[in-house]
Amino acid sequence: MWRHVVSNFLTLAVVLLAVIAGVVSWARQQYSAPGPLAEAICLKVEKGSNFRKVADDLAARGAVSHPYIFKVGADYSGKTGALKAGSYLVGKGASMASIVAQVTGTGQSTCGAEINYRIGVAGTDVVVSELDPATSQFKDLAKFDPVAGPVPPEYARVAKDPDVRLVVTVAEGATSWQIVDALGRDEFLTGAIKDVPAEGTLAPQQYDVTRGMARADLVSQMLANQAATVKNLWDKRAEGLPYKSPEEAVVMASLVEKETGVPAERARVASVFLNRLAQGMKLQTDPSVIYGLTRGQGILGRGLRQSELRANTPYNTYVHEGLPPGPIANPGREAIEAALHPEKTNYLFFVADGSGGHVFAETLAEHNKNVQKWRKIEANQQDGAGN
């Protein structure tokens, strides 16, 4: 009898173990398998939240079918204590495992609202946008001038969100003075910038910032990024270039940056300036003359006068031969690369073509014809503006 009871118990135990093993295997498969989410959502994890609340929110929004498995999976993987507040883009069909990895990762929000403080060549603006989970595209909610205003209500609302992504974007061709001046008005940053960095030493790109970040720390990041970019590109430069140092290459890159906004033209413009240097010609570039007048503290806002083209400033490339004494702006990576890998051409001249780009010429006669065409285009544009 006892032998029969023991036999039945063992049989039952084996069955139970098999069932448990099957359940565990099924749960693991559910945890790693694609989830039921039909469309991407923005999941907001509040400060002080926990995995039970996150699991219930996901279940209510159709992102997980088994919130208990979601929580147990996080426990089993040792990530329960790593939950980070933020806004996270949960993609269509996201698995529970991938969602757990998202909410316990860096804590960097991947959806929700964004405030982009954009420092440009002609001014600064603030763009408020919000991610549409369905399209994974940001939609602009508001745009305004932080100096002139007015401040739109969308900005005031979004700025209160502790999880809003804060971005500073520096455009290629902005001067160091413009960048420092604009950063001083960014209300999310703190502290003062002691000195304006040397021209050409700040990397124009997009920077993620945090509330209360020191302005000086952001500038240090810009300096480090530009130094790394220049070193990397200088080490891979083409042979036979006339630059005596990386600094001279940055000077050339700044001229290229200010002369054209067409990416495909950068290396061609660099070739024109290098061809002029090789022939002992003056560079005769207006942006350098303008920098000699403004020192990068704002824009001239008008055409150059003949007296200014004859003015004896160090940056007047109509008066002095060779490169100007320093950069006239902060060039981006592509302009630096163009200066270090110019096109091989015989061009010595270029003038605007009316479409935003330039037309290039090898001879003065050909260039004069192109200038006449440009003047007709200018005249037609002025007549059209006057009507």
DSSP 314-379: TT-TTTS-SS-SS-SS---HHHHHHHHS-------EEEE-SSSSEEEESSHHHHHHHHHHHHHHHH
Amino acid, res. 387: N
Quickly tell me which residue has 């720390």 as its tokens: 217
- Strands 165-170 and 113-119 come out as parallel
3-class DSSP state of 241: coil
Return the pLDDT at 14: 59
What fold characterizes domain 30-111? Dna Ligase; domain 1 (3.30.1490)
Q: What is the DSSP string of 43-99?
A: EEE-TT--HHHHHHHHHHTTS-S-HHHHHHHHHHTT-GGG---EEEEE-TT--HHHH
Nearest to 273 by CA among 210, 358, 191, 148: 358
Nearest to 136 by CA among 41, 34, 36: 41
Q: Is 280 left (phi over 0), alpha (psi -120 to 50) or beta?
A: left
Return the pLDDT at 381: 65
Question: How far apart are alpha carbons 171 and 169 in whole angstroms?
Answer: 6
Return the pLDDT at 75: 83
Local confidence pLDDT in tens for the 387 residues of the chain: 555 555 555 565 555 556 565 655 665 777 878 888 888 888 888 878 888 898 888 889 888 888 888 888 888 788 878 888 888 888 888 898 888 888 888 777 777 788 999 999 989 999 998 877 777 777 888 899 998 879 899 898 888 888 788 999 999 999 999 999 999 999 999 999 999 999 999 999 999 898 999 999 999 999 999 999 999 999 999 999 999 999 999 999 999 999 998 999 999 999 999 999 999 999 999 999 999 999 989 888 788 788 888 888 999 999 999 999 999 999 999 999 999 999 999 999 998 887 778 999 999 999 989 888 888 876 776 655 555
Return the pLDDT at 1: 52
Return the pLDDT at 79: 81
Return the pLDDT at 118: 96
- Residues listed for the chain: 387
Tokens found for residue 265? 């033209």
pTM of the model: 0.77
Which 8-state DSSP code applies to residue 169? E
Residues of the chain with CATH 3.30.1490.480: 30-111
Quickly tell me which residue has 């006449």 as its tokens: 372
Return the pLDDT at 15: 57
